[in-house]
Amino acid sequence: MVEIGHFALVLAFALALVQTVVPLYGARTGNDRMMAVAGPVAVTGFALTAISFLALAAAYALSDFSVQSVWENSHSLQPLIFKITGTWGNHEGSMLLWVLILTFFGALVAAFGTNLPATLKANVLAVQGSIGAAFFLFILATSNPFIRLNPAPIEGRDLNPILQDFGLAVHPPLLYLGYVGFSICFSFSVAALIDGRIDASWARWVRPWTLVAWMFLTGGIAVGSYWAYYELGWGGFWFWDPVENASFMPWLAGTALLHSAIVMEKRSALKIWTLLLAILTFSLSLLGTFLVRSGVLTSVHAFATDPTRGVFILGILMLFIGGSLALFAWRASALTAGGLFHPISREGALVLNNLFLTTATATVLIGTLYPLLLEAVSSDKISVGAPFFNLTFGPLMVPLLVMVPFGPLLAWKRGDIVAVAQRLMAAFAAAIVASLVTAFFIDGASAFAVVGVGLAFWLVFGSLTDLAVKSGFGNVGVGALFRRFIGLPRSIFGTALAHMGLGLTVLGIVGALSFGTEKILSMHTGETVELSGHTVRFDGLFPDKGPNYSEDRARFELVGENGKTIGEIHSAKRFYPVRQMTTTESGIKTIGFSQLYISLGDEGTDGSVVVRLWWKPLVTLIWLGALVMMAGAAMSLMDRRLRVGAPSRRRAKTPAAVAASTP
Amino acid sequence: MRMKAALTWLVLFSALFFSGSAFAVKPDEMLANPVLEARARHISEGLRCMVCQNQSIDESDADLARDLRLLVRERLTAGDSDAQVIDYVVSRYGEFVLLKPRLSMHTILLWAAPLVLLFAGGLAVFFSARSRRREAPSLSPEEQARLEAILHKN
């Protein structure tokens, strides 16, 4: 089975080479049959990669310790789910997941792209194939998951305990679907550059793909954030860590791409910029892969400390980013810009959106790489941490968030800013009231809190205003209003939901950061502590055993006003003997949108235990907001006008193609 | 990706320093004076734990972070201002310890980047919009005449 997987992987690599060379040559020479190779090869390549992946997953599920990767990252006592998710809980397996998703997207284009112009399809699949080939080679040469051990060890070394969590089942697949999903936009852009033109079907295809990738990336980042929040035991949800930034940069650039693709699709303006942005977005995904996989950020990175991998990925990075940008510089002038618009218009608003989002992306990029670059050129060591990003990224977001509700309400080509402002009066009033309430009724509210709450309400009510205006609120009767509301295009709901989700996330961030409270103390059994109006009693520590760990579980009771128990919170410290590691399992009680969070520290000699408690108001809105954003993207995807697919029309064969196919 | 970062430092600590507790500031370190303690916490959030990947000493569990936390509290109790405490720590550990780098010759690019980029981007947008409007094809006199002719024919 393992050898079948290994063999399938080698075959997939060979096919990726075929997928790169043959269709590309076919498209250049106008050979239809060579171009037609791309589709079946892409589908077969995906099937082979899937076989390879399943073979590895089976080795993990069956605890086949004769495979080195399984031996290093699994244990026979692990619950089955963690055995399976362990497949991608390590460098080799996660790279295999990466190429699996890459070939999956390629196969999707091959299967559903029947109405794409033949040369475009051939070029897209060829570019997609070339990315695949590079990464297949990377896996086979430096990170082969199928290496056998002889003699086979009897027991494995266990998956890292922190990864033995449901988060591992969801976070990497979602994140990779997002990261790698942008490869399709990249391939389309490079294909357009090779072709030297962008037509209507290009825009129609790129936007849904961007939406899909963006939706998954949003989910992946949100899951990662929540996972870190509950697993790390100190209640932070975003750390501006370089590895985190690596996933955040493609998200920011992808958000910009999403918006510029709208302009391109609807108004055929900003073509060249959209194309560049698509290239940059996937380049940032590749950069993220490099940063995380090469270990360049830190010498102690758990996954990859082997420099050969880093150099290999750096090569891939330079080849694809450098190559595509060079191609862009060379060919972009051949593309025609189209669509004129007045600065005050929907297009104008989306340009501003792009300006701020790309500046924010660049800020994160510079902040992440600056210490590395500075050390390389001057050997000065500095740190760029959360305070820097809060001070630079934060202020960049404020004007952007202020502008958000204006965008969807402005007309295309030439908008009336005064009329839009009048329509937004109600949302503005809601924001002002929310800010004033925050300022006067909440003790110690900072300026950040006042502005943040106002912005959050502005976003939420701004998106509601958009829906209301477009259903004809104030102009038609209730019945007609309802009918028009139901009949609104799904993409309008999508926009409103996504913007509303953003508002909810902002509210959650502001709530948790500004109004949260914290207590650190030593507690004895039976002692109570009060935090922001919640009384918590410590019932004691109880030893417990899991399949591959032992734990000390602390039970806390949430005591109501009448002294009765209204809830239990369990917080534990687990010890995994195989890796000799301790993890914390924080106890979380969700009350409304807020959470009470308890984490355990050292035990004292007198039977007391150090306890850290947080009250995190509205914190769940951070991730619920992300869910709402994803729902918005899903809603947009369901819009009939945007359903994945190009306008069905038969494309006349080019003279060259006709000539080539007639003997 | 977040988890991988998490993984890094947890793996590191578990191997080197793990003491079993999940978080940093411990009750026995805290100062009795709540004002001073609040200042200590605030300062700690801006100081890097030198042996960690991207953590402040307020968050870190490493021994070095604990030493730094105690040092900060010692200086505060001795009557130092916040700035003096930070200067003292920097004088001992270098600028690497600051999570918010100071504005200086070698960080000017870092700090200026957001504003410069926003400004440059804004200019680019402005000029490209202007040049595009100028390029906008208007009818030449002959075309205008032909248009008139066509319109009048009907």
A264 within a domain of the structure (yes/no): no
Sort out which chain B residues have CB atoms less than 8 A from A221's CB and list them. Answer: 2
CA A538, A544, A549, A550 torsion: positive or negative? positive
Sort out which chain A residues have CB atoms less than 8 A from B59's CB and list them. Answer: 234, 236
Partner residue opposite A610 with nearest CB, options B11, B26, B122: B26
Sort out which chain A residues have CB atoms less than 8 A from B114's CB and list them. Answer: 359-360, 362-363, 392-393, 396
Average pLDDT of the residues of chain B = 78
Residues 188-247 in A contacting B (C-alpha not used; CB under 8 Å): 221, 224-225, 227-228, 231-234, 236, 239-244, 246-247
Sort out which chain A residues have CB atoms less than 8 A from B27's CB and list them. Answer: 520-522, 610
Q: Are A601 and B10 in contact (CB < 8 Å)?
A: no
pLDDT tens-digit profile of A441-481? Answer: 887 778 899 999 999 999 999 999 999 998 888 777 888 88
pLDDT tens-digit profile of A77-106? Answer: 999 999 999 999 888 999 999 999 999 999
Among A189-198, A355-364, A467-476, B51-60, the range scoring the smallest mean pLDDT is B51-60
Please name the residue of chain A whose CA is at the shortest distance from the CA of residue B22: A601
Partner residue opposite B133 with nearest CB, options A340, A363, A520: A340
| Nearest chain A CA: its distance from B37 CA (Å) | 12
Domain ranges for chain B, please list them.
Answer: 2-97, 108-153
Residues 568-587 in A contacting B (C-alpha not used; CB under 8 Å): 573, 579-584, 586
Please name the residue of chain B whose CA is at the shortest distance from the CA of residue A234: B23
pLDDT of residue A214: 96
Amino acid (one-letter) located at A44: T
Residues A578 and A625 in one domain: no
Please name the residue of chain B whose CA is at the shortest distance from the CA of residue A240: B54
Q: Of the ranges A219-233, A471-485, B13-27, B125-139, which is most confident?
A: A219-233
Q: Of the ranges A112-121, A385-394, B55-64, which is most confident?
A: A385-394
On whether the CB atoms of residues A511 and A619 are closer than 8 A, the answer is: yes
Residues A448 and A559 in one domain: no
Provide Rg for chain B, Cα atoms: 30
Residues A468 and A432 in one domain: yes
Of chain A, the percentage scoring pLDDT greater than 70 comes to: 94
Amino acid (one-letter) located at A311: V
- Write out the DSSP string of A356-406: HHHHHHHHHHHHHHHHHHHHHHH-------HHHHHHHHHHHHHHHHHHTTH
Mean of pLDDT values over A421-440: 93
On whether the CB atoms of residues A214 and A633 are closer than 8 A, the answer is: yes
State whether residue B14 sits within 8 Å of chain A by CB: yes
**How far apart, in Å, do the first and last CA atoms of chain B sit?**
68
**pLDDT > 60? residue B3:** no
| Nearest chain B CA: its distance from A22 CA (Å) | 36
Read off the pLDDT band of A302 (50, 70, 90). Answer: very low
State whether residue A513 sits within 8 Å of chain B by CB: no
Tokens in use for A641? 């006008």
Partner residue opposite A162 with nearest CB, options B6, B20, B118: B6
Q: Are A241 and B45 in contact (CB < 8 Å)?
A: no
Read off the pLDDT band of B4 (50, 70, 90). Answer: very low
Q: Are B99 and A385 in contact (CB < 8 Å)?
A: yes
DSSP character at residue B47 = B
Average pLDDT of the residues of chain A = 88
Tokens in use for A509? 């961030």
A108 within a domain of the structure (yes/no): yes
Closest CA to A366 of A438, A287, A451: A287
The ipTM of this complex is 0.84
Place of tokens 């399938």: A8
Residues A501 and A527 in one domain: no
Closest CA to A96 of A12, A215, A216, A1: A12
pLDDT of residue B133: 65
Cα dihedral value A490, A495, A498, A499, nearest 10: -150
Q: Are B27 and A359 in contact (CB < 8 Å)?
A: no
**pLDDT > 60? residue A236:** yes
Residues A612 and A523 in one domain: yes
**pLDDT > 80? residue A496:** yes
pLDDT of residue A640: 67
Sort out which chain A residues have CB atoms less than 8 A from B10's CB and list them. Answer: 162, 232, 581, 583
Residues A478 and A527 in one domain: no
> CA–CA separation, B125 vs B2, rounded Å?
35
**pLDDT > 60? residue B85:** yes
Tokens in use for A511? 């709530």
pLDDT of residue A564: 86
Please name the residue of chain B whose CA is at the shortest distance from the CA of residue A361: B114
Q: Which conformational region is residue A632 in: left (phi greater than 0), alpha (psi within -120 to 50 degrees), or beta?
A: alpha
Q: Are A599 and B27 in contact (CB < 8 Å)?
A: no
pLDDT of residue A254: 96
> CA–CA separation, A420 vs A342, rounded Å?
16
A57 within a domain of the structure (yes/no): yes
Chains A, B: CB pairs < 8 Å: 195
> CA–CA separation, B134 vs B132, rounded Å?
5
**pLDDT > 90? residue B153:** no
On whether the CB atoms of residues A548 and A77 are closer than 8 A, the answer is: yes
Q: Are A228 and B6 in contact (CB < 8 Å)?
A: yes
pLDDT of residue B20: 33
Read off the pLDDT band of B23 (50, 70, 90). Answer: low
Please name the residue of chain A whose CA is at the shortest distance from the CA of residue B11: A302
Q: Are A162 and B99 in contact (CB < 8 Å)?
A: no
pLDDT of residue A297: 66
pLDDT tens-digit profile of B27-79? Answer: 878 888 888 888 999 899 889 888 777 788 888 878 888 889 999 999 999 98
> CA–CA separation, A375 vs A378, rounded Å?
5
Read off the pLDDT band of B141 (50, 70, 90). Answer: confident
| Nearest chain A CA: its distance from B100 CA (Å) | 5
Sort out which chain A residues have CB atoms less than 8 A from B12's CB and list them. Answer: 300
Q: Are A521 and B113 in contact (CB < 8 Å)?
A: no
Sort out which chain A residues have CB atoms less than 8 A from B99's CB and list them. Answer: 383-388
Q: Which residues contact A478 (CB under 8 A, 6 or more apart)?
A: none
Tokens in use for B22? 């999940």
How many domains would you assign to chain A?
3
A575 phi, psi to nearest 5 deg: -120, 120
What fold does the segment set B2-97 form as a domain? Helicase, Ruva Protein; domain 3 (1.10.8)
**Domain that includes residue A86, residue range:** 1-164
Of chain A, the percentage scoring pLDDT greater than 90 comes to: 57
Residues 82-141 in B contacting A (C-alpha not used; CB under 8 Å): 94-101, 106-107, 109-111, 113-114, 117-118, 121-122, 125, 129, 132-133, 136
Q: Are A340 and B10 in contact (CB < 8 Å)?
A: no
Closest CA to B113 of A26, A374, A82: A374
Please name the residue of chain A whose CA is at the shortest distance from the CA of residue B42: A387
On whether the CB atoms of residues A90 and A103 are closer than 8 A, the answer is: no
Q: Are A225 and B2 in contact (CB < 8 Å)?
A: yes
pLDDT of residue A155: 92
pLDDT tens-digit profile of A451-461? Answer: 999 999 999 99
Using DSSP's 3-state secondary structure scheme, residue A43 falls into helix
**pLDDT > 80? residue A371:** yes
pLDDT of residue B134: 63
| Paired residues of A585 in beta bridges | A572
Mean of pLDDT values over A126-144: 95
Tokens in use for A456? 């959050």
Cα dihedral value A414, A419, A421, A422, nearest 10: -170
**pLDDT > 70? residue A577:** yes
pLDDT of residue A642: 54
Read off the pLDDT band of A335 (50, 70, 90). Answer: confident
* Mutation target vs A (from B12, B23, B98; most A CBs, 10 A cutoff): B23
Please name the residue of chain B whose CA is at the shortest distance from the CA of residue A289: B1
Helix or strand holding residue A541 (H, E) = strand A534-545
Neighbours of A389 (CB within 10 A): 22
Neighbours of B13 (CB within 10 A): 20
Helix or strand holding residue A224 (H, E) = helix A200-231
Residues A48 and A158 in one domain: yes
> CA–CA separation, A471 vs A486, rounded Å?
8
What are the CA-CA distances from residue A1 to residues A7, A63, A64 (Å)?
Answer: 10, 13, 11
Using DSSP's 3-state secondary structure scheme, residue A411 falls into coil
Residues A522 and A510 in one domain: no
Residues A528 and A431 in one domain: no
Residues A31 and A133 in one domain: yes
Q: Are B22 and A233 in contact (CB < 8 Å)?
A: yes
Q: Of the ranges A444-448, A559-563, A581-585, A613-617, which is most confident?
A: A613-617
Read off the pLDDT band of A614 (50, 70, 90). Answer: very high
A341 within a domain of the structure (yes/no): no
State whether residue B22 sits within 8 Å of chain A by CB: yes
A362 within a domain of the structure (yes/no): no
Sort out which chain B residues have CB atoms less than 8 A from A388's CB and list them. Answer: 99-101, 110
Using DSSP's 3-state secondary structure scheme, residue A214 falls into helix
If 0-12 CB within 10 Å is exposed, 13-18 middle and 19+ buried, where does residue A270 land? Answer: buried
Please name the residue of chain B whose CA is at the shortest distance from the CA of residue A91: B4
Sort out which chain A residues have CB atoms less than 8 A from B138's CB and list them. Answer: none
Cα–Cα–Cα angle for B54, B60, B66, nearest 5°? 130
**pLDDT > 70? residue A506:** yes
> CA–CA separation, A409 vs A495, rounded Å?
11
Place of tokens 């362990």: A86
pLDDT tens-digit profile of A151-186? Answer: 999 999 998 888 888 888 999 999 999 999 999 999
Cis peptide before A151 (omega within 30 of 0): yes
> CA–CA separation, A226 vs A266, rounded Å?
36
Strands A594-603 and A565-576: unpaired
